[in-house]
A and B are shown apart, each in its own frame.
Chain A
Amino acid sequence: MNPDKNLSELTKKVQMGLSLGVFKDRLGQKLLRFYHLGILDPWTIGQINTRVDKALRRKAFQTEPVFQEAQLHSGKLILGVDNKHKPLTTHLQYLNAGSLLVANTGSGKTTLLTYYAQQIAQHVKGMWLVDLRKKEFRFLRPLFRQYGMDLVIVRSRSFKINPLQVPLKVAPGEYAATIADVLAKVLNLPPRASVLLSTTIIKLYQQYHVDTGSRKFPTLFHLFEAVRNDKTANSQARQAILDNLEAILISLGPEVLGYYHGWDTNELAKFKLALELTGLPESGKDLLLNTLVASEFTSRIARGISNKGMDLWMSLDEGQRLFSQHKETSTYTGNSLTDLAGLVRGAGIGLFISVLTPDDLSNRIPAITSTKIMGRCGSIPEYMAAGRYMGLSSEQITWCAHHMIPGTFVGQIGDGKWRYPFLFKIPAPQRMCPVSDQQADQSLAALSHLKVEPVEFVQWSARPRIDVSSQQPQASTLTDSEYRLLKAIVDHPMLSSSQYVKLAKISPNTLSKLRPELIQRGFIREHEIDSGKRGRTKRMLEPLEAGIKAVQAHTQQEGI
């Protein structure tokens, strides 16, 4: 039975008028009130009819016939403008439930992200803008500075992360299980290897007294060594861990992962960061992102943060391969980041994922992101797939396929009263000043106060080791870092090589590069002391006569 049959013509007109938004002005509100009170004199009826008919005529002839006029006029976040150039706004906190942006290359995806980032940055404590393929978020640094905010640019090799570092307030045993699960997924380990990984992490925590409160954590390198030395373990499981872990350790190296204590994620969550993962292998990106998200998430849960407002906004640009359906189905345990993406909302972390195409996008991503935005896509099937995420009709999808241009988007807000798809445009991109790599590295000074305890891994250096040579020392000048290292060795001889990282104020990577060079030039000598147990060989550095003279000469020359 059609319920509309019993309604009067006037009631149907009022219903239509409400959906068309013709009663929003002051007189419109009065007319509605008259209608509800039954004051239906000819003038009132005439006014209602005229308004609705006029709106219907306008709708019949307008250029965007298939989308409703957006009724989004409250909140602080400007989504864009409608076809009358009126700003469409929504509440910032609606983005906490996750957002998905699907748009082809050149359609304004990054422009939209930067437009939102500028606005959101002023209302959240932390912001992580993750550039998975490009280096575009760094251009926001000058803009952020205009607003009195500092955007720290972390280049792919500047991360200082220890995935086995237990986050703030989290119980080590609990975190061991979480990180083992994450690593098993990142490394794509079979079930038996996952169990071995989990038990090895727990043993390492005991060995390093992490379970009794020590804040010196084993690293992935220690994990690798522990698995390698565990001869009693199932050989296939052991080999699976070694093969997969070695690839990551070699690609990221000690400069990224060689820290007993890396950056605390709860500290990073207080910063606006542009995280550039360009140039890293997919597994490396996966590991870094999973570590950051999993640590922060578990820490927030342990701190009792639940269902709070968004105070960390995380945007993942070009996340196509990271959230691949193929990757999810072809692995043993699925995609860890997809799992986490569904959970972070409750902990006040808003996730904004942008992808080029819905092809091969994990089925779970549209399900766990409530706000959807679609830009210009490359083909009709892509419009259909992306359109289905936000409930577009076939008419609307066809319209999009023929009319979408760069800078135009269809959106659907995941929260609030008005949830229909709507059309909007974003302002043209602002002309941004370029930011060089050097400037990017300088921005890292903001993180210099964070506690970092490096480990030096001689055996993990990508460079081949150079043995002590009997050649005469070459009379050559010292670079700044060479001088600092050599001076530290002369001033504090016979310390273990890792201690010189702090003394010389150089990175572990620089130390591992310089040490063989200084040995070859006859400035220092290296002595090995084996550990009584299974630990690594300790290397002690002794200054030689030539090295002492070189330091003295450099000091005189530079007038230090």
Chain B
Amino acid sequence: MRGDLFHNTLVKDAEAVFSGFGWQIDTERMVCAKGVTTYFDLFAWTGSLAMACEIETTCRHALDNLRKAQAIEIPLWIIVPTRRIRQQIQRLLGTEKIFSGGKPVKVILPDELKEYIETYMKTNTLKGTDYENQME
């Protein structure tokens, strides 16, 4: 992985949480959709549900990551280690709800990831785009 040790540790932790729910994971996986090719720290999918996760230890690349997720219309969760970084990113994103892939973009702490996945799986039906088939 391209990040530093701390970044990579957070990626691994997030990977373990997704795997716990039976999701398939790829790290630093190239995603091609809607004519756009990009990379995400973590790309997780199960059946027809898919999710891109970006691990941010600073707020520098938050907007870039949002733009690339919106370009390929995929739900995005930004995982941050501290509340302070979360606040900074939320300030950058503005007060309006931001959507990507038809789902609101979430900025979450590692501890909250499990709860978010549970809720996400409960509230989303298995309809939608089959990302598995679209990935190259």
A residues adjacent to B (C-beta < 8 A): 493-494, 525, 527-533, 537, 540, 542
Contacts and interface: CB of A to CB of B under 8 A. Distances in A.
B5 A529 contact: no
A528 to B, nearest CB: 5
Contacts of B83: 530
For A525, A527, A531, A533, the residue with the greatest tally of chain B CB atoms inside 10 Å of its CB is A527
Contact of B111 (A494, A527, A532, A540): A532
B5 A532 contact: no
Contacts of A537: 82
Contact of B115 (A531, A532, A540): A532
| Interface range on chain B (Cβ under 8 Å from partner) | 10 to 19
B82 A530 contact: yes
B109 interface: yes
For B6, B57, B112, the residue with the greatest tally of chain A CB atoms inside 10 Å of its CB is B6
Contacts of B115: 532
B82 A529 contact: yes
B129 to A, nearest CB: 30
B53 to A, nearest CB: 16
Contact of A528 (B9, B82, B108, B112): B82
Interface string B76-115: 0000011100000000000000000000000011111001
B80 to A, nearest CB: 9
B1 to A, nearest CB: 13
A526 to B, nearest CB: 10
A525 to B, nearest CB: 8
Contact of A540 (B6, B108, B112): B6
Contacts of B10: 529
Interface string B11-26: 0000000000000000
A532 B82 CA distance: 9
Given A530-B111, A532-B109, 5 more contacts: A493-B5, A529-B81, A530-B81, A531-B109, A532-B110
A493 B5 CA distance: 9
B6 A494 contact: yes
A549 B9 CA distance: 22
Contacts of B57: 527
A245 B107 CA distance: 36
A537 B110 CA distance: 12
5 contacts: A494-B9, A527-B6, A530-B111, A531-B109, A532-B115
Nearest to B4: A542
Contacts of A527: 6, 57, 81
B112 A542 contact: no
A525 B110 CA distance: 19
For A529, A533, A540, the residue with the greatest tally of chain B CB atoms inside 10 Å of its CB is A529
A262 to B, nearest CB: 27
A541 to B, nearest CB: 10
B6 to A, nearest CB: 5
Contacts of A525: 6
Nearest to B112: A532
B20 to A, nearest CB: 16
A525 B9 CA distance: 14
A526 B108 CA distance: 21
A533 B81 contact: no
A533 B109 CA distance: 10
Given A493-B5, A542-B6, A528 B111 contact: no
Given A527-B81, A528-B81, A528-B82, A533 B111 contact: yes
A448 to B, nearest CB: 33
Contacts of B112: 532
A532 B6 CA distance: 18
Contacts of B108: 532
B5 A531 contact: no
A529 B111 CA distance: 9
A487 to B, nearest CB: 17
Nearest to B86: A530
A537 B111 CA distance: 11
A537 B81 CA distance: 10
Contacts of B110: 529, 532
Nearest to A494: B9
Nearest to B6: A527
A85 to B, nearest CB: 75
Contacts of A540: 6, 9
Nearest to A537: B82
B15 to A, nearest CB: 14
A486 to B, nearest CB: 16
Contacts of A533: 111
Contacts of A531: 109, 111
A529 B7 CA distance: 11
A529 B112 CA distance: 12
Nearest to B82: A530
Interface in B10-62: 10, 57
Nearest to B5: A542
Nearest to A526: B6
Contacts of A529: 10, 81-82, 109-111
A529 B80 CA distance: 8
- Top 3 A-B pairs ranked by shortest CB distance? A532-B111, A532-B112, A494-B9
A310 B97 CA distance: 71
B118 to A, nearest CB: 13
Contacts of A542: 5-6
Contacts of A532: 108-112, 115
Nearest to A532: B111
A392 B82 CA distance: 72
B83 to A, nearest CB: 5
A542 B10 CA distance: 13
A532 B83 CA distance: 9
A494 B109 CA distance: 17
Nearest to B83: A530
For B5, B82, B83, the residue with the greatest tally of chain A CB atoms inside 10 Å of its CB is B5
